[in-house]
Each structure stands twice: as structure tokens, then as C-alpha cells.
Amino acid sequence: MRHALGVLGILAAGVLLVVSAAMNYRFGLSLGKTELDGQIYGVASAAADCMKALVPFFLFAAIKNRAWSQAAASMLVWGVVMAYSLTSAFGHAALNRFDVAGQRAHVSNIYQETRSELASAREQLGWIPQHRPMMAVKAEIEGFKGSKRWRATKACTDATIKKSIAFCDNYRASVAELASAERAAALDARIVKAQVKLAGFDGGSVNSQADPQAAVLAKLTGVDLESIQLAMTVFIALLLEVGSAFGMFIAFSQWRIYERHTPAAPMMATVSTAAAAVAAPETHQVPVAIEKPRSGANDNPTESERVSAAPTRLVAPENDVERFYKERVETQDGSSLTATTLYEDYCAWCEVQEKEPLALPTFGREFGELGVQKAKIAGRVRYIGIALKSEVGLKGDTNKPAFIVKAA
């Protein structure tokens, strides 16, 4: 589980780092006067952004090693690259956000104007009186112009008698009806054009606000829209830069890359304690360092003098594999354990003891040095003549002290 979380953390931090580096590259590219200058600035900006994620490893390693000059240099470099990355992120985020907001505002204005034009055309079309089709009205007007009364009235400019006046009134009514038909046709064309234009818009992407997110936050908080937009731009830049700067360092902490395993100091024990340790039924031979006895004037000391003058011996400290062997493994004729089963039990023992387990090859090498017979049976490595202790034995052994008690 710990390794899975670490891998997921590295992937998430890697995505943030790639996005931040790409943002810095694009912003650096815009600073160049020529294409080559832009490429130089862009690559330098991306490299500085990657350096921002690596410096925390160097900084904390220098602090742990008490290399204060290197730590100070790391802090200086990190401060510079972080400040540059932040400014680049601010510039890119602001440019992108306001540019997108401007495009949305332009599209929204066109959309609203088109809808208003469509509504106006439909409203005007409702005001036009009822009329016949335009071609029928034109045909009727042409009939009026071909009649004798048209010529007699001089194109309805000199109508004096009743029939001529009625004829001219009908002609003028047809002309008015033709105007209504032409106006209606023009309005119909405007309506069709507006409908086609509106059909080209994606209804889900057209909003009444240029920046809907900022507009909602402004309504919720009561802050003006421009302040919300500025705060969101800063927040996005900080998210990318801080996440890409410390994401890798935090994710790699799952593997304790700075943890040191230092050997414990040797423990002193008397000869009788060392002998008792050697004679223990379920233990193995431990090496002892024997101090060379000093020569004295009396070459035939008494028994009491020999006991009191017994040399001090230093017993080598047990490592984790030896402790695991003493606490979890017992000798049993006719039994055997596979290397996988033994290693899994060792990992469980390390988890209880809150220790970092060794890798399988290292564990196998150190366990083999304990003198346990090993053989390859049916393609699997097995340790002969040993078995794991029962759970009762485990509870009893884990309660034993890990240090050597000086004999009385």
C-alpha cells in the first residue's frame, strides 16, 4: 500500500511538473525577439522549473549532512528559480485567463445580438397587415397598368369621375399590399439568417458571463469581479508552482530516502554470559573478541585469582536477521521452509518491530551465513531442518528484552 501511494504521488507530481514546465516554456518563448531567442528563453525557463523540483532534495540532504554552505547555496538557487517560475506562471495564467474571458465575452455579445435581432424581426413581422403573396399582387398591379382607365387617368394622376377614382383607389391598395409583401419577405430573410447564425453556436458553451466561475464567486463572497479574477489567477499559478516544487519531494518520502541505518555500539558481557549465549539451545554461535591476558609476576595463581582476573570479552551485537532467527525460527528435524515463506515472515516481523526489512537477496545472504542448510527442491529454494515458531512462541519471544543481561 505504501509503495502504491508513493507511485501515485510521483505520477501526480510529475503531471504538475510537466504542466508547470510547459507553461514556463510557452511564457519564455514569448519573450524572445527572434525565434531562436524565444527557444533559448523557453528552454531556460523549463530547465529552471525542473530545477525548482530538484533543489529540495539537495537542500535537505545538505542540512542532514550539516553541509551548511551547500544548504545556503541550495536555498539561494531555489529562491531564484521559484521566483522566476512564479512570475512566468502568473504571466501565462493571466494572459490565458483574460484572453479566454475576452473571447467568451465576444461570443456572448454576438449571441445576444443575434437573439435580439431575431426577436425584433419576428415582432416587426407581426405588425405587417395581412397580404397576398407578392407575385400575385405584382400581377394584379401589372393588370391595372394595362387597362384603359390607367391611360385615361394618366397613371392615376388625373381621376375625376367616380369609376376612375375607384380604379385608382384599388391600384393604390395593391401597391400598399405589395409593399407589405416585400417588407414581410425582407423580415423573413432576416429571421432565417438569424436562425442559421444561432444554429452555429453551441448552446452549452455560450454564457451570459465572460467568466462564469469568477461571477459565481463574486456573488457568493460579495467581492468585485476583477478582484476575484485576480485571486483565481494567483491561485492557479501557486497551485502549479508549489505542487510541482514539493510534489516529488513529498512523494519520495514514502521510501525514506534520507533514513540512515547505523550499527549499534558493541555491548560488553562477561565470559559466563558469552558462554551461556553459546550454550543456548536455539541460538547460534556468536563471534567474541577476547582481550589478550596480561602477564603477571605470579605464574601459578589460585582459583579465586583466576576467576577474578578473567579477561573481559566483547560480544558482537546481533543484527536484525539474527534476532529474527532467534525469535521466529526453531530447529525441527524433517521440516523445511521455502525462501519465500521465510522472507514473508521476516517482513511481518520487521513490521511488528518497526524496522525496515532488507531486500530478499540481502536477507538470503545474511540468513545463509547462520549455517542453515539450503537446497533447491522442485525448482524452489528451501531451508532444511527449520520451522517457524507457533504464534504462542512468537508472543513469548517478542516480549523478551533485546539487550544482553550481565551475568551475576
- Residue 34 zone, left/alpha/beta (φ > 0; ψ -120 to 50; rest): beta
Q: Are 50 and 21 in contact (CB under 8 A)?
A: yes
Whole-angstrom distance, CA of residue 149 vs CA of residue 156: 8
Q: Are 241 and 20 in contact (CB under 8 A)?
A: yes
CA angle 391, 393, 399 (to 5 degrees): 105
Other C-beta atoms within 10 Å of 383: how many? 22
Per-residue pLDDT at 155: 87
Q: b or e along 181-192 (b: 16 or more beta carbons within 10 Å of the residue's beta carbon)?
A: bebbeebeebbe
Per-residue pLDDT at 286: 44
Nearest to residue 61, comparing CAs of 251, 258, 262?
258
CATH number of 267-289+307-408: 1.10.10.10
Q: Residue 107, exposed/middle/buried by CB under 10 A (0-12, 13-18, 19+)?
A: middle
Whole-angstrom distance, CA of residue 332 vs CA of residue 388: 9
Whole-angstrom distance, CA of residue 21 vs CA of residue 29: 12
User: What are the grid coordinates assigned to 258, written together?
Assistant: 534520507
What's the pTM value of the predicted model, to 2 decimals? 0.37
Name the DSSP letter for residue 255.
G
Other C-beta atoms within 10 Å of 393: how many? 14
Q: Are 211 and 104 in contact (CB under 8 A)?
A: yes
Other C-beta atoms within 10 Å of 250: how many? 15
User: What are the grid coordinates assigned to 368, written together?
Assistant: 545463509
Q: Are 245 and 82 in contact (CB under 8 A)?
A: yes
CA atoms within a 13 Å half-sphere pointing along the CA-CB vector of 386: 25
Per-residue pLDDT at 264: 42
- 236 Cβ neighbours under 8 A, 6+ residues apart: 89, 93, 97
Nearest to residue 175, comparing CAs of 151, 156, 195, 190?
156
Nearest to residue 283, comparing CAs of 324, 329, 328, 326?
326
Nearest to residue 54, comparing CAs of 82, 35, 27, 32?
82
Per-domain boundaries in the chain = 2-106+222-255, 267-289+307-408
Per-residue pLDDT of the chain (408 residues; tens, 9 = 90+): 666 777 887 888 788 888 888 888 887 887 788 888 888 888 888 888 888 888 888 888 888 888 899 889 988 988 888 888 888 777 777 767 666 666 677 777 888 888 899 899 999 989 998 889 989 999 999 998 888 889 888 888 888 888 889 999 999 999 999 999 999 999 999 999 988 988 887 655 555 556 677 777 777 888 887 787 778 777 777 777 787 777 777 777 666 554 544 444 444 444 444 444 444 444 444 444 444 444 444 455 555 555 454 444 444 567 888 999 999 999 888 888 999 999 999 999 999 998 889 988 888 888 888 888 888 888 888 999 899 987 434 444 444 444 444 443
Nearest to residue 87, comparing CAs of 18, 22, 28, 16?
28
User: Over the chain, what is the mean pLDDT?
Assistant: 76
Whole-angstrom distance, CA of residue 166 vs CA of residue 159: 9
